[in-house]
Structure 1
Amino acid sequence: MSIRVSIVPVTAYQQNCSILKCEETGRGAVFDPGGDVERILEAVRQMDVTLEKIILTHGHMDHCAASDILRQQLEIPIEGPQREDDFWIGKLPEWCQMAGFPHADAFEPDRWLDDGDTVQVGAQTLEVLHCPGHTPGHVVLFHRAQQLAWVGDVIFQGSIGRTDFPRGNHDQLIRSIREKLFKLGDAVTFIPGHGPTSTLGQERQTNPFVADARYG
């Protein structure tokens, strides 16, 4: 196996922060560090991985509130999400205060991601898919060789992301799932932002929101 992945649930929202290690180089990335920095760093130590970047799927606080802390502490860049989520990240202090979340300062990623971009982690290449709907700038990262995708809050086992937040769009979310994610293939395993992993094939068959049976 060319990569190793550890999932670290963080914050009161039990958000699936995950750590990717390239076995070839020992280098890695952390996805969606929403909080609990020490818990994340402990998992990094246990994996014996040298983090070289932070990758964000979208700008909601439970996915990104600890990003800038880690960026400053480890001196590594933040990549993602797509620029349309800038307004979410810019309002982090307000959202955290409203939700009773630990304070987080607004920040700007070192690199915004767009559909068709790639992200390098060690010797591994991740493909970027812009999948709006839950948020306008949401991205999914896909490791084709391992048939593994980090989907944030686009899709979950048996459910899909909420679209009742500012600039959420239900129809857009359905299109992102059915026209982009499902085309990656049934064998793809995905790590969602919350809850257990699943496969795209399983969701295409059984997810009541996006299954083939619903859309024909």
Structure 2
Amino acid sequence: MSENTSFAFVANLLNVNCNLPFKVLEDCYFQKADSFQIDKIKKYFSDSGHFTQLFRFNLSPYELVYVEDTNMLQQNSLTGQHLEPQDWKYYVLNFYGGISKVYDLIMAANLVEIELEFGLQFIYYKEIKTFGIQENPTYTFNYFHEMNRSLPLSESIDDTNLQDIGSIYQYYQQLDEIKYPDIKEAINMLQELKHIPHSSKFKVLGLFTII
């Protein structure tokens, strides 16, 4: 039951081309968010102030699809259309375990072809039977601010992309930090780049630094 399972919200707007739920690791499944999880995600958006204009209508980018507006004279003009609830694009990674497990999954997800952004982690504490939200405020602000500022585009993923997360996670777990310290440092630096706004030229400079 999702009411007592930790989950990470996948911030990307995704077109998923595989059967769900998909087993990424033991006790770790990628799937569509259920109504309980969507309520928690939307409450976070409402409280945080992200997507203020959309939330005036109790909407988020995950409930819209953008199509060409044929009524506009301007070329490539797009308009948002409401999706039916069963087609909403809220996806989560359900998992058992603490924040350390999802942190390593975040690192692994940074290295796949379609980089999945686990923007928020809802950790279930069974001792007190409640959820806590884990986030990096700067990184979260940068990601959702960019999504709010520009027209968000959907990315397509399939079972291969999800399998890659599990495989890279296992390699990451087995990485000998003493023998290969530069690899671990490069992976950490890639994560730290998310503190820099997406539109900043310093982000490009940071990528060259890692290389």
TM-score, normalization: structure 1? 0.30
The structure whose residues are more often helix, as a share, is 2
Which of the two has higher C-alpha Rg?
A: 2
TM-score, normalization: structure 2? 0.30
The structure whose residues are more often strand, as a share, is 1
